[in-house]
Amino acid sequence: MKPILELRSLSKAFGGLQVIQDLDLVVGAGQIVTDDDPVVGQGEAVADLDFSLKPGEIVSVIGPNGAGKTTLFNLITGIYEPDSGDILMDGRSIIGLSPEQVSNLGVARTFQTLRVFLNMTVKENVMAAAYGNTKVGMWGSVFRTPSARREEKQISDLAESKLSFFGERLMGYRWDQPAYSLSYANRRRLEIARAMATNPRLLMLDEPAAGMNPAETHEITELIGQLRDDVGYSILVIEHDMHVVEGISDRVIALDHGVKIAEGSFEEVATNPHVIEAYLGAGAAGTK
Amino acid sequence: MTAPDETGIGVDEWVEQSEGRREGHTGFTAPARRLFDKLTPGSRLTLFLLAAATYPFLVRGSDVRIGITILLLAMVALGLNVVVGWAGLLDLGYVAFYGFGAYFYAIVASDQLPAHWPTWIAIPIIVAASALLGALLSLPSRRLVGDYLAIMTLFFAQIFVELVRNFERLPFVPDDLNLTGGPNGIPGVKPFEFFGFEFNGQELLGGTLPTFSRQYYLVLVFLGLLIVGLHNLNDSRTGRAWRALREDTLAAEHMTMPVNRLKLLAFAVGAGIAGLSGALFATVQNGVFPNNFNLFVLIIMYAAVILGGSGSIPGVVLGAVAIAYVPELLRDPTKAGLLFYVGIAVVLFVLVRRWDKIAATVGGVFVLGLVVRFFSSRIWDESILGEVNDTSLSRLLDDWVLNFESQRDVITSYAFVLAIVGVLLVVLATGWWKIAALIPTLYLAILVWENKLVFQPSITRQLLFGAVLVVMMAVRPQGLLGTRRVEIM
Ligand SMILES: Nc1ncnc2c1ncn2[C@@H]1O[C@H](COP(=O)(O)OP(=O)(O)O)[C@@H](O)[C@H]1O
Ligand SMILES: [Mg+2]
């Protein structure tokens, strides 16, 4: 069976951008895991990255701020094109596809900088994401044909079931409230529900626990586990909170300056001297 | 990273407050707003149509034309709302599609061409052609957003007017073909006719329903159908995708929505509605002229959408009513006066909000009027003041505010400047001081109004119209029936 997602020596630089501060860390880390010498040019956000994801597993991406984690997500979903390397979904390259095409192949994501549809209701946010899996045309909607009504009901049910995943938090009267009225934690939940409504196989979560209190963080940890166990998604998650990472990860990869410096179980990565060095080198603030 | 910002939006306390606000609308419009919220969209539409249907019976024949103008503006503004209010695309070329539909109809249903298409064939073809044109013109601007899109489309709007004005001078047009009538437009357009049922003829229902009323009901039917169709579309897969696009294009793209196709569709739907409205406009006016489609008309359309509440169907219709009706109201000095005092009342309610203070203000202004009247008769003689010595109650009420016989201009100029100072004080002051500043300010405003502005209808019209818009926007930035918009990351 082919993996859902496979990255092959992926590289991306933002021209003229000088992001790298601790070059020695990058070079030192790069020798450990990659087969070929990583080309660590200045401004490489993701340098020669090599890892793959098997169905139904949770892989966490960790690394200090600016390590290139979000850029990695942006490359996969088609916001940027890589300079070199390949991204395969089910063995087929998805390089050059638009975010819309990638999402229709079954990749859904959330955003680190929350991007809910603020002036739409909570339920509409989720319903909107069913676009790619529904087909009633404009005229069908204008005339409310029987098939349009049927499909609308399905979309509505889908949204309700996705929202019910979060217990009481996004239920009942909340459905009809505008998304801007939600707290930050609830917006993060709403983004996950919205991503689920695209019917993905791969779910990519960018810092799902950011801005949450310890109780909420615990809750979201359980939830991500459930998403894999009950729904069967493969999940790629960026997270700073080491308790979350420890709680959910089947595998962890650590990035620093866009270079994979460690890969393995949580214990292996957490005790890896390069990882510890990367975090301390980048300053304690990054580790939270 | 995601720390709550200063506005507090998104923090739980704010959420609670917001819920509180949702439950009971506050302020003096609360009962009306609550009633409006309770009605289903269907019953709202029924009420609106019923009210609109009685209009021709309430006014004199030619005043029905105002009604037709209002309904047409509502239609075309609803189309603009699809592009701007829902899809969030700043399309400044929109008026060109209105003009395209109108000219198309005028050309195929007049003596410009020997063709003379029947209405029921012309209308669908015009709608389709306008939609197609909308889609085509959106192609080059597909990748543009915001300001760039606005500039590009504004260019289309300008091109259209120039094109119809100078059509016969275009290099590839034969000399004897003057399709658009140039600056003179096309007079003598055939009326709307539906299988022999003429909407401008005299014979309908034994002549009991005058031409204007027939046209009015014709447009009303189209508007009703349009509202239903758009309502359904808004609450559908397509409508949600448009709004998602407006809120966050990148996120919409990540959530399986084909952004470019949706933009194209929004342009096409908007243009189709504009084309339909334009064709109706041509039949109603029996002619088309370049100036019917200039940038001022575009501004009026935008004003209706924004004033009513961008994105809201009832809002846009109400906005169109307000935008088209208020200037008409202001034509007549008595009605303008009425509007002035109603406006003052609204300002009072909005600024003060408490019944005891409102009563104190009104009482204060009245007493101030009497006091000023008393003392001014000691200072000025009758040549300036006119007859003020009669202290009978009816005369007191009649001449409550001074009405100068001479030196009107000088005195009102001073009063005007003082009134401006008063407005500043009102804005700065709080509590009872606000009331104290408000009383002389209101008195001065009324003095200026009664002595000057009623005699200069055209200036007053524009002034008052502008003031009405400013007040409305300040009171409800989201538009009359619009919902609050939040834009933060
Ligand atoms: N579009 C862009 N243009 C220029 N630089 C970028 C862009 N996107 C990301 N970067 C830079 O790439 C580096 C990695 O950023 P990012 O992937 O967001 O890090 P993180 O690991 O914290 O998510 C940062 O230095 C950032 O400034
Ligand atoms: Mg990031």
Domain coordinates in residue numbering, chain B: 8-38, 42-329, 335-455
Does the pLDDT value for residue B439 go beyond 50?
yes
Q: Could you tell me if A165 and A67 lie in one domain?
A: no
B78: amino acid identity, one letter? L
Q: Could you tell me if A175 and A34 lie in one domain?
A: no
Atom number of ligand 1 nearest to Cα A73:
17
Task: Please report whether residue A190 resides in a domain.
Answer: no
On whether the CB atoms of residues B44 and B314 are closer than 8 A, the answer is yes
pTM across the whole model: 0.81
CA of B257 to nearest chain A CA: how many angstroms apart? Answer: 6
State the pairing for strand pair B197-198/B193-194.
antiparallel
Q: Could you tell me if A241 and A270 lie in one domain?
A: yes
Among A32-36, A129-133, B178-182, top mean pLDDT goes to A129-133
Element spanning A187, H or E: helix A184-196
Give the integer Cα–Cα distance in Å for A211 and A240. Answer: 11
User: Between the CA of residue B167 and those of B161, B261, B404, what are the distances in Å?
Assistant: 10, 33, 56
Residue A94: give its domain's CATH number: 3.40.50.300
Distance from Cα A67 to the centre of ligand 2, integer Å: 8
Q: Could you tell me if A270 and A202 lie in one domain?
A: yes
Sign of the C-alpha dihedral computed for residues A194, A200, A205 and A208 taken in this order: positive
In this structure, of A77-86, A223-232, B23-32, B263-272, the range with the lowest mean pLDDT score is B23-32
Which residues contact residue B126 at a Cβ distance below 8 angstroms, ignoring those fewer than 6 apart? Answer: B101, B104, B105, B275, B276, B278, B279
On whether the CB atoms of residues A250 and A59 are closer than 8 A, the answer is yes
In this predicted model, what pLDDT tens digit does every residue of A254-267 receive, in sequence order? 888 888 888 888 99
Its domain, for residue A155, covers: 117-181
Does the pLDDT value for residue B264 go beyond 50?
yes
Number of independent structural domains in chain A = 2
Among A100, A118, A197, whose Cβ lies nearest the Cβ of B253? A100
Task: Please report whether residue A174 resides in a domain.
Answer: yes
Q: Could you tell me if A97 and A202 lie in one domain?
A: yes
Give the integer Cα–Cα distance in Å for B117 and B109. Answer: 6
Q: What is the pLDDT of residue B207?
A: 53
Q: What is the pLDDT of residue B251?
A: 95
User: Between the CA of residue B136 and those of B114, B267, B408, what are the distances in Å?
Assistant: 28, 9, 59
In this predicted model, what pLDDT tens digit does every residue of A74-96 receive, in sequence order? 988 999 888 888 888 888 899 99
The beta strand positions in B258-392, using DSSP E, are 287-288
Does the pLDDT value for residue B34 go beyond 80?
no
On whether the CB atoms of residues B216 and B64 are closer than 8 A, the answer is yes
Please give the radius of gyration of chain B, using alpha carbons only, rounded to the nearest integer. Answer: 27
Q: Could you tell me if A161 and A75 lie in one domain?
A: no
Give the integer Cα–Cα distance in Å for B92 and A77. Answer: 33
- Section A169-190 average pLDDT: 88
Q: What is the pLDDT of residue A102?
A: 95
In this predicted model, what pLDDT tens digit does every residue of B177-215 receive, in sequence order? 778 888 888 888 877 776 556 665 555 555 556 777 888
Of the candidates A231, A223, A277, which has an alpha carbon nearest to the alpha carbon of residue A239?
A: A223
Atom number of ligand 1 nearest to Cα A68:
17
On whether the CB atoms of residues A29 and A37 are closer than 8 A, the answer is no
Is there an atom of ligand 1 within 6 Å of A45 CB? yes
CA of A128 to nearest chain B CA: how many angstroms apart? Answer: 5
In this predicted model, what pLDDT tens digit does every residue of B328-361 receive, in sequence order? 777 777 777 887 888 788 778 777 778 888 899 9
How confident is the prediction for chain B on average, in pLDDT? 81
Cβ contact, residue pair B250, A115, below 8 Å: yes
Q: Could you tell me if A142 and A283 lie in one domain?
A: no
On whether the CB atoms of residues A26 and A42 are closer than 8 A, the answer is no
Tell me the HSE value of B323 on the side-chain side, using a 13 A CA sphere: 31
Q: Could you tell me if A254 and A140 lie in one domain?
A: no
Pocket test of ligand 1: the residue of A11, A17, A238, A261 to mutate, having most ligand atoms within 8 Å of its CB, is: A17
Question: Which one is the CATH code of B42-329: 1.10.3470, 3.30.450, 1.20.120, 1.10.10?
Answer: 1.10.3470
Does the pLDDT value for residue B23 go beyond 70?
no
Q: Could you tell me if A95 and A122 lie in one domain?
A: no
Does the pLDDT value for residue A281 go beyond 70?
no
| Strand ranges of the sheet holding A84-89, from the earlier edge strand across to the other edge | A44-53, A5-13, A84-89, A92-93
Chain A, nearest residue to B10 by Cα: A183
Give the integer Cα–Cα distance in Å for B223 and B209. Answer: 20
Instruction: Report the nearest-CA residue for atom 17 of ligand 1.
Output: A68
Boundary-marking domain end, from A128, A158, A181? A181
Q: Could you tell me if A43 and A79 lie in one domain?
A: yes
To test the contact with chain A by mutation, choose from B256, B259, B267 the residue with the greatest count of A C-beta atoms within 10 A, namely B256
CA of A109 to nearest chain B CA: how many angstroms apart? Answer: 7
Task: Please report whether residue A62 resides in a domain.
Answer: yes
How confident is the prediction for chain A on average, in pLDDT? 81
Give the integer Cα–Cα distance in Å for B34 and B25. Answer: 7
Q: Could you tell me if A201 and A163 lie in one domain?
A: no
Give the integer Cα–Cα distance in Å for B309 and B315. Answer: 5
User: Which position has the higher pLDDT, B135 or A37?
Assistant: B135
Which residues contact residue A139 at a Cβ distance below 8 angstroms, ignoring those fewer than 6 apart? Answer: none
On whether the CB atoms of residues A118 and A179 are closer than 8 A, the answer is yes
Q: Could you tell me if A223 and A104 lie in one domain?
A: yes
